[in-house]
Amino acid sequence: MKQSLRIPSVSVHYLNIIANTLSRMGYPNHDIESRTEGLSEDDYYFNRVPVEVLFDIWQQAEQGSQDPMIALHVGERIHPMDYGLLGQLMMNCSNIEEALQRILSVEFVLNNAFASQVILEDDKAINRIFCHQYGPEQMRHVAEQDISALINIGVFIMNRDYTQENRPLEVHFRHAPQGPVSEYERALRCPVKFNQEYNQVTFPQSILQTRTYNPSPRIAGLLQAELKSLLDRIEAHDSLAMRMWRYFQTQPADNQPDIERTANHFNLTARTLQRHLKHEGTSFQDEIKQYKAMLAKSLLDVNNSPISQVAFQLGFNDSSAFHKAFKRWTGITPGEYQRSIA
């Protein structure tokens, strides 16, 4: 497996969104400015950097601002137009549901490290961020900015504040609070819980049908055609292995997809999917094995979780079967792995 095929990365455009907002807040980032100098708008999407650069930039922003909640506050200030083509398309969708679907379907344009999904449960809509490769602290800034921006851009594209009927119901973060919980609840307009299983925001499902402020179907059609052209070119740059890992992240830990389901997701036959992967120097079996090993390690990492609990989360009937599978994936036992990180 060529490691470069699935090194998580983000686009320079994603960095530029953060840089523009930080600059408006009085915290310019010359590192980002040097990366964007002389680039066209298309270049912003095609030029990518390892996701660790994004984490480092957030650390710089926190240190420069002396604000441990800087990402939360950046999310409040982000404007839809900062997203360029994607923001314009979002503002011209007919309702919130369409805007969310459009943005999440092309999320990999901005980053291929994290994946988001809208999950409908009873009368609730949950926008959940999946990223099993990184721990709560690494993802802290990204999660706070992403959820804060989602909530506050909602105000902009509806052109009205949240009401009792459509306001966010609750936000969950995987990390611990970095300041007063009351400040989180002010910025996010709802109760906030920490040290949770997922980074996510929950809304009443009815909000999905809320109309955006002055949508233009004609402009939306033109923007969608332009976006499709951009997507076709970007997809040619992202490996199928990387795209598969994004898909795996959105699937339940105890029900990871087989080759048929995965191929169907990408509108391919299983044979064609294997042929593409072989061209990339890997196979479906290698990728799902490595992904399951990474997922198992991330679950074992969480507060040194009991092995029996992790086995259950991954869909194993007993710890013995998980023990054998983990050793097959990694060459060591779950217990040996936990002792190595203690």
**Mind listing the pLDDT tens digit for each residue in 288-333?**
988 888 888 878 876 567 899 888 888 888 889 999 988 988 889 9
Residue 327: give the domain boundaries: 240-341
Looking at the fold, whether 115 and 183 belong to one and the same domain comes out as yes
Q: 259 and 192 share a domain?
A: no
Q: What is the pLDDT of residue 5?
A: 52
Name the least confident of 25-39, 61-75, 201-215, 263-277: 25-39
Mean pLDDT of 226-242: 76
Q: Is residue 234 part of a domain?
A: no
Whether 10 and 132 share a structural domain = yes
Note whether 206 and 302 are same-domain residues: no
Between 68 and 106, whose confidence is greater?
A: 68
Residues 6+ apart with CB under 8 A from 59: 141
Q: How far apart, in whole angstroms, are the C-alpha atoms of residue 313 and residue 335?
A: 16
Residues 334 and 257 in one domain: yes
At residue 200, does pLDDT exceed 90? Answer: yes
Rounded mean pLDDT, 194-201: 92
> What is the pLDDT at residue 143?
96
Q: Do 304 and 208 fall within a single domain?
A: no
- Site of tokens 């923007």: 223
Report yes or no on 228 lying in a domain: no
Q: What is the pLDDT of residue 2?
A: 45
Ramachandran bin of 267, using left for φ above 0, alpha for ψ from -120 to 50, beta for the remaining angles: left
Residue 211 lies in a domain: yes
The answer to whether residue 323 is domain-embedded is yes
Q: For tokens 């990387």, what's the residue?
A: 242
Question: Does residue 299 share a domain with residue 173?
Answer: no
The full DSSP string for 77-124 is H--GGGGTHHHHHHHTSSBHHHHHHHHHHTGGGTBSS-EEEEEEETTE
Q: Give per-residue burial for 193-208: e unless 16+ CB within 10 Å, then b.
A: eeeeeebbbbbbbebb
CA-CA distance, 283 to 276, in Å (whole number)?
Answer: 9
Q: Do 249 and 126 fall within a single domain?
A: no
CATH number, domain of 200, equals: 3.90.1520
Which tokens is 259 given? 């080759």
Residue 230 belongs to a domain: no
Same domain, 39 and 173: yes
pLDDT at 168: 95
Look at residue 226 and tell me if it is in a domain.
no
> Total structural domains in the chain?
2
Q: Is residue 224 a part of any domain in this protein?
A: no
- Taken in order 90, 94, 97, 102, the sign of the CA dihedral is negative
Residue type at position 92: N
Q: What is the pLDDT of residues 276-287, one digit of tens each?
A: 999 989 999 998
Residue from 256, 328, 241 nearest 1 by CA: 241
CA atoms within 13 A on the CB side of 107: 19
> Do residues 55 and 191 share a domain?
yes
| Domain identity same for 259 and 330 | yes
What pLDDT is stored for residue 84 in this prediction? 83
Spatial separation of the C-alpha atoms in residues 15 and 10, rounded to whole Å: 8
CATH of the domain at 273: 1.10.10.60
Which of 165, 185, 219 terminates a domain? The answer is 219
Closest CA to 86 of 11, 19, 35, 3: 11
In terms of domains, do 335 and 272 share one?
yes
Average pLDDT over residues 52-64: 92
Any bridge partners for residue 263, and if so which?
none
Provide, for the chain, the percentages of residues in helix, strand and coil under a 3-state DSSP scheme, each rounded to the nearest 5.
60, 10, 30
Q: Dihedrals φ, ψ of 39, to 5°?
A: -90, 145
Most confident of 109-113, 142-146, 230-234: 142-146
Which of 184, 219, 254 corresponds to the end of one domain?
219
Domain assignment present for 47: yes
What would the mean pLDDT of 225-241 be, rounded to a whole number? Answer: 76
